[in-house]
Structure 1
């Protein structure tokens, strides 16, 4: 299986549809005030760069990097399509995002994810890549349904 990860301008609508289903799932696992996934109307933003992962032209997953400041990036919208779970899609997208963060000379990359067991695979992946727990950042606040991670670059 060959995974092709590349920057994506969202023009074909596939990522938007994947993230709509992602948002629906987040509301199943977290109360509304604890859902921090990007809503479709917030996806087009000059501070956010998206990547798509495709297998044989089919969208397998996505992820995004938001510039919080010239030295800090935030990983957003990490999602793997249901039919491609546990195939290395998220790992491939995360590698691409971290590579871009290094090119941009960020000193640090942070992220927010859920705290329930549903998020355990994502948390394990982030920890494998050296992310460590941290305090809330940017516009986030303490929330029992959220975990925050950071990685120094």
Structure 2
């Protein structure tokens, strides 16, 4: 399965649809005040880099990295298309983002994900790649529905 991860400007219909599906699912499972996923406009903002993952000509997933300043960045909008789950797409995207961040001089990555069972696979992936749980970081407040994690690069 040849996988291509490339920068994405979110102008393509496939990636915009994946962002919309991601937001819709997050809103189904998370109260609005605890949902921190970004829409396409906010993912297109300065300081955010987005990548899409492709298998042949089919979108398989996406991920983003938001600059937090002071040599820190935050993982955002990690998502794998359902039919590609369990095929290593998320891990490949995560490693790609970590490598890119390190090349840009980022020294630590941070993330917020859900704390409920439906986010267990995501938390497991992050932990297996060296992320550890931490306290809420700015701009977040402590939230029982959020798990915060960080990793030094």
Determine the structure 2 residue equivalent to 1:131: 131
Residue equivalent to 2:7: 7
Range 7-16 or range 140-149, more displaced: 7-16
Aligned to 1:112: 112
Instruction: Tell me which stretches of 4 or more aligned residues in structure 1 moved more than 3 Å.
Output: none
What are the ranges of 5 or more consecutive residues in structure 2 without an aligned counterpart?
none
Q: How many matched pairs? A: 153
Give the TM-score normalised by the residue count of structure 1: 0.96
Hey, what does 1:121 align to over in structure 2? 121
CA distance, structure 1, for counterparts of residue 44 and residue 53 of structure 2:
18
1:48 equivalent in structure 2? 48
Q: Secondary structure at the match of 2:25?
A: helix
Local SS of the residue matching 1:65: strand
> Do the aligned residues in 1 keep the contact of 2:10 with 2:40 (CA within 8 Å)?
no
C-alpha contact 1:29 1:116 (8 A) present in aligned 2? no
Tell me which residue corresponds to 1:101: 101
Partners of 2:31 and 2:61 in 1: how far apart?
A: 24
Contact 2:43 2:64 in 1 (8 A): no
User: Paired residue for 1:68?
Assistant: 68
Give the secondary-structure state (helix, strand or coil) at the position aligned to 2:5: strand
Whole-Å Cα distance in 1 between the matches of residues 106 and 41 of structure 2?
27
Tell me, in whole angstroms, the C-alpha distance in 2 between the residues paired with 1:68 and 1:132. 18
Three-state SS of the structure 1 residue aligned to 2:15 is helix
> Is the 1:63–1:94 Cα contact (8 Å) retained in structure 2?
yes
User: What is the TM-score normalised by the length of structure 2?
Assistant: 0.96
